[in-house]
Amino acid sequence: MVVLVVLAVLAIALALWFFTTYNSLIGLKIRVDNAWSQIDVQLKRRYDLIPNLVESVKGYMQHEKDTLERVIKARSQAIDASGIKDKAQAENFLTQTLKSLFAVVERYPDIKANQNVLKLQEELTSTENKISFARQYYNDEVGRFNTSIQVVPANIVANACGFTRKEFFEIEDKAQKEAPKVQF
Amino acid sequence: MPFSFIDIEEKKTRVIGYLFAFIIVFYFVTSYLVLLVLENSVFPSFDYYTGRGFRMPPLEHTLIAFGVALIAGLMHWSLSTSHLIERICLTVGASPIDTKDTYHQYLKNIVDEVSVAIGGRRLEAYVIPSAAMNAFAIEDFGGRAVIGVTEGLLSRLNRAQIEAVVGHEAGHIISGDCLSTTVTCALSEIYDESFSKLGGALKRTRGRGSVVLLLLYLVIGAMRLMSNIIRYFISRQREYRADAVGVRLTRDPLSLAEALELISRTWRGQGAMGERMQSIFIINPAASQLDETEGLFSDMFSTHPPIKHRISILADMAHLDHKTLQENLKNFKRVAPIAKPEFKVEEAAAPASWLVFMGQDWLGPFGPAELLKLDGFKPDVWVRAEGSSVTSHAYEVPALLDLFRPAEVIGRTGAGNCPRCHTPLSEYSYEGVSILKCVYCEGVFVEQDKISRIFVRRDMDFGDDVVRLAKNFMGTKGKDALAEKIEPKNAWVLDCPKCHIQFKDKFKMRRQFFVHSYPVEIDRCSRCDGVWLDKYELEILQYLYEHKEQFFDGSNF
């Protein structure tokens, strides 16, 4: 009788532990998904802004067609990319081409004096920063999630319920690693 | 992350619970003391000399007193926590950003970026129209969070530094100490107002009423002193923590250290921003000696930790020491968020045909006659001479401006008319501020709340003509002008562009000197306080304002 009671209590405690661990893992997973959708919102915003910027500097930059075309190409590549790794790569490329566009813009005093371009440039700078912040937040959340599905004893629950590690949204460009933000 | 979100929520409610309990206990104790005094003075069996006959109040009286205390405590609580954000903003003079202002838009972008960094929680951006440098964060029970900065900070720090400051403020919000600080400030502030009002009333009242007032004044004064104790609930450690969380958000300790260094060197708003509100600011507006010392006493009674210590912790994170940081800041120059106008005068023959940017495309080329026939060809459209790459507004090209003159339409549009030329004014961005400008006489109309913003910002360059005129104004000629009075027949001439639409001739603008130290005559509307400035007058005033040391130490004149 006593043995049965002890076993029943143990079983209930085990079940309780199992459910609470599972729930907290699910909570973390949802936060990772949320963080990803944050990145997505900002990336979409950047896709929308780029054509406007290209449109408004096109008139000034007859000799810089290459740069502009590279930006447009990088944008459509980034839109088409799927999967976190490919997406990260395409986005990094887009960031680099945008940087070279900004560098070219610096050489044209006419463009710099145009309030409209300046405004778009500021919007884009802000969006770039938001992307890097959203990525930072996402990676923090992924780090926390990955840790919590690997620590003992939560890893038992994670393995049983099929939780797998999430991928980081990584930066591959070395120069970007040193200066993660565009500053004006 | 120092805490999980659940910890934060728990901690928040615990601190708020303490505060509430403190308020209630405070009123219980006060009402019991009052009751003791009343019991022993209404039926005076108490003998002062022997100390005998001291009556304890009976139970029912005690219960009544506690009931009164409970009601008073609840009223105090609900009065000070309703419309928390609005009331505090009113006290420190903050208002939401002006979306047409370039600098404000810039701040909003930064605040939005930080909001992404904390996981997408909405933060509102507010601005205090003051030349001081400071920033604050407040939060209410509904989870609404506001981050505010002063105009002075906005116009003197660079983007990364503002971002670091906003990150610090967001640090207060996500580490959970913002709500308790906000509530504490609101609670300790409520007696200030009644105290100062009573003080005023006391001076005016004579006779028997004044005795009652004096009594009330003393009671409120005592309550005010007592309720100040509440502020010592706020630990100065919270600033270190917010610095740390801010750095975790922006990953930029150097900028935060620089920002603190720059803020600490200037006027932080002492006297201008609610004295009791100091806890919500990044750096104490009242530069107090207590803040700069360490030890048990200052840990208990000051609201902010020593700035030097904060800066050296942050500088250390960036592998610098405080001295090097100060050295590096000597050459500090910020990049202005606006395009600076150029002062080159080009005398070229007017080209015969023009391209016009309308809809979403360049149209043309057109000759002058064709241009006039175009629907929607206004002074503020973008034009470009055929074969040239220089784009400008139509009103900036003298040849095109002449085209408009015969076709002037005297009508009343939404923006109002120029009081001199009676033509519609167009919106124009002057140092990031949206003002109204006449394209013909180049006079400008500036609303009352915008003019101070222009004077705080220092990103404009001035043309030679403006500098010459400004120096003339401050020379003997201008001083003579100051001695003369404005002729009455000139004093009420112009119509206010804004108020004239609605009130016709009811309100005129009054001619006066902008301030009495500068002999620049302006016209100020008697209703909305908006200011009309003729060509160059705004630039001259701004030049004088920005170079006032030069004009008032007597070295140049």
Within the 123-152 window of chain B, which residues sit less than 8 Å (CB to CB) from chain A? Answer: none
Range with the largest mean pLDDT of A94-103, B275-284, B366-375: A94-103
Distance from C-alpha of B508 to C-alpha of B488, rounded to nearest angstrom: 13
How many CA atoms lie within 13 Å of A82's alpha carbon, on the beta-carbon side? 1
Q: Is B285 helix (H, G, I), strand (E, B) or coil?
A: coil
Distance from C-alpha of B185 to C-alpha of B277, rounded to nearest angstrom: 6
**Which has the closest alpha carbon to B172: B84, B280, B92?**
B280
- pLDDT at res. B52: 66
- pLDDT at res. B274: 63
Does the beta-carbon distance from A133 to B159 stay under 8 Å?
A: no
Does the beta-carbon distance from B120 to A34 stay under 8 Å?
A: yes
DSSP B423: S
CB A135 within 8 A of CB A170: no
Same domain (yes/no): B403, B443: no
For residue B381, what are the domain limits? Answer: 354-407
Cβ-in-10-Å burial (0-12, 13-18, 19+) of B45 comes to exposed
Q: Does B336 touch chain A (CB under 8 A)?
A: no
Q: Is B550 helix (H, G, I), strand (E, B) or coil?
A: helix
Same domain (yes/no): B12, B151: no
- Residue B195 is assigned to a structural domain of this protein: no
Q: What value does the mean pLDDT of chain B take?
A: 79
Q: Does B251 touch chain A (CB under 8 A)?
A: yes
- Residue B307 is assigned to a structural domain of this protein: yes
Q: Does B99 touch chain A (CB under 8 A)?
A: no
Distance from C-alpha of A3 to C-alpha of B363, rounded to nearest angstrom: 92
pLDDT digits (tens, 9 = 90+) for B516-535: 667 778 888 888 888 998 88
Does the beta-carbon distance from A38 to B390 stay under 8 Å?
A: no
Same domain (yes/no): B266, B308: yes
- Which residues in chain B touch residue A180, judged by CB atoms under 8 angstroms apart? 251
Phi then psi for residue B300, to 5 deg, are -80, -40
Q: Mean pLDDT across the stretch B310-320?
A: 88
Distance from C-alpha of B4 to C-alpha of B392, rounded to nearest angstrom: 55
Q: What angle do CA B51, B52, B54 make, to 5 degrees?
A: 90
CB A87 within 8 A of CB A78: yes
| ipTM confidence score | 0.84
Q: Which of B329, B346, B375 is the last residue of a domain?
A: B329
DSSP B81: H
β-partners of residue B483 are none
Residues A127/A128/A133/A139 CA torsion (nearest 10 deg): 120
Describe chain B by its helix, strand, coil percentages, rounded to 5: 55, 15, 35
Distance from C-alpha of A23 to C-alpha of A8, rounded to nearest angstrom: 22
pLDDT digits (tens, 9 = 90+) for B65-92: 889 889 988 988 888 888 889 988 888 8
- pLDDT at res. B421: 76
Q: How many domains does chain B have?
A: 4
What are the tokens at B467?
Answer: 């500098």
| Nearest CA-CA distance, residue A9 and chain B, Å | 28
Range with the largest mean pLDDT of A107-116, B262-271, B344-353, B391-400: B262-271
β-partners of residue B522 are B512
- pLDDT at res. B171: 92
Q: How many domains does chain A have?
A: 1
Q: Which helix (H) or strand (E) holds B459?
A: none
Does the beta-carbon distance from B113 to A129 stay under 8 Å?
A: yes
Nearest by CB to residue A126, choosing from B109, B117, B362, is: B109
B258 carries an active-site annotation = no
CB B84 within 8 A of CB B183: yes
Q: Is B383 helix (H, G, I), strand (E, B) or coil?
A: strand
- pLDDT at res. B273: 67
- pLDDT at res. A183: 47
- Which residues in chain B touch residue A119, judged by CB atoms under 8 angstroms apart? 102
**Which has the closest alpha carbon to B96: B446, B162, B451, B104?**
B104
Beta strands at B433-437 and B391-393: parallel, antiparallel or unpaired: unpaired
Other C-beta atoms lying within 10 Å of the C-beta of residue B367: 11
Does the beta-carbon distance from A126 to B110 stay under 8 Å?
A: yes
Does the beta-carbon distance from B113 to A126 stay under 8 Å?
A: yes
pLDDT digits (tens, 9 = 90+) for A152-161: 888 888 888 8
Q: Which of B343, B375, B407 is the last residue of a domain?
A: B407
- pLDDT at res. B180: 85
Same domain (yes/no): B5, B29: yes
**Which has the closest alpha carbon to B121: B142, B107, B98?**
B142
When pLDDT is cut at 50, 70 and 90, the band that residue B476 belongs to is low
The region of weakest confidence among A60-64, B166-170, B364-368, B408-412 is B408-412
- Residue B282 is assigned to a structural domain of this protein: yes
Q: Where are the alpha helices (DSSP H) in B362-456?
A: 368-373, 398-404, 448-456
Name which residue leads in pLDDT, B265 or B41: B265
CB B441 within 8 A of CB B418: yes
- Residue A140 is assigned to a structural domain of this protein: yes
pLDDT surpassing 80 at residue B474? no
- Residue B192 is assigned to a structural domain of this protein: no
For residue A8, what are the domain limits? Answer: 2-178
Share of chain B above pLDDT 70, in %: 78
- Which residues in chain B touch residue A179, judged by CB atoms under 8 angstroms apart? none
Q: Is B143 helix (H, G, I), strand (E, B) or coil?
A: coil
| Nearest CA-CA distance, residue B253 and chain A, Å | 14
- pLDDT at res. B347: 45
Distance from C-alpha of B500 to C-alpha of B495, rounded to nearest angstrom: 6
What are the tokens at A170?
Answer: 């990584």
Instruction: Count the residues in chain A.
Output: 184
Same domain (yes/no): B153, B257: yes
**Which has the closest alpha carbon to B66: B38, B40, B29?**
B29
DSSP B335: P
Which of the following is catalytic: B139, B151, B163, B169? Answer: B169
Does the beta-carbon distance from A110 to B391 stay under 8 Å?
A: yes
- Which residues in chain A touch residue B114, judged by CB atoms under 8 angstroms apart? 133
User: Left, alpha or beta for B359 (phi > 0: left; psi -120 to 50: alpha)?
Assistant: left
Mutate to test the interface with A, among B4, B116, B162 (most CBs of A within 10 A): B116
CATH number at residue A17: 1.20.1440.20
Beta strands at B444-446 and B531-533: parallel, antiparallel or unpaired: antiparallel
When pLDDT is cut at 50, 70 and 90, the band that residue A29 belongs to is very high
Q: Mean pLDDT across the stretch B372-377?
A: 68
R_g (Cα) of chain A, nearest Å: 24
Q: Which chain A residue's Cα is nearest to B393? A: A114
Phi then psi for residue A153, to 5 deg, are -100, 5
Q: Which chain A residue's Cα is nearest to B341? A: A113
Nearest by CB to residue A60, choosing from B1, B340, B389, is: B389
- Which residues in chain B touch residue A115, judged by CB atoms under 8 angstroms apart? 338-339, 429
Contacts of B123 (CB under 8 A, 6+ apart): B111, B112, B114, B115, B145, B146, B147, B170, B173
**Which has the closest alpha carbon to B347: B397, B402, B404, B405?**
B397
Cβ-in-10-Å burial (0-12, 13-18, 19+) of B318 comes to middle
| Nearest CA-CA distance, residue A98 and chain B, Å | 19
- Which residue matches tokens 């004239």? B500
- Residue B382 is assigned to a structural domain of this protein: yes
Between chain A and chain B, the number of residue pairs with CB atoms below 8 A apart is 70
- Which residues in chain B touch residue A133, judged by CB atoms under 8 angstroms apart? 113-114, 116-117, 249
- pLDDT at res. B554: 45
Distance from C-alpha of A69 to C-alpha of A24, rounded to nearest angstrom: 47
- pLDDT at res. B138: 92
| Nearest CA-CA distance, residue B158 and chain A, Å | 8
Annotate A99-111 with b (16+ C-beta within 10 A) or e (fewer).
eebbebbeebeeb
DSSP B512: E
**Which has the closest alpha carbon to B281: B123, B116, B132, B456?**
B132
Does the beta-carbon distance from B159 to A183 stay under 8 Å?
A: yes
Q: What angle do CA A52, A53, A54 make, to 5 degrees?
A: 95
CA of residue B251 relative to chain centroid, distance: 27
Same domain (yes/no): B28, B172: no
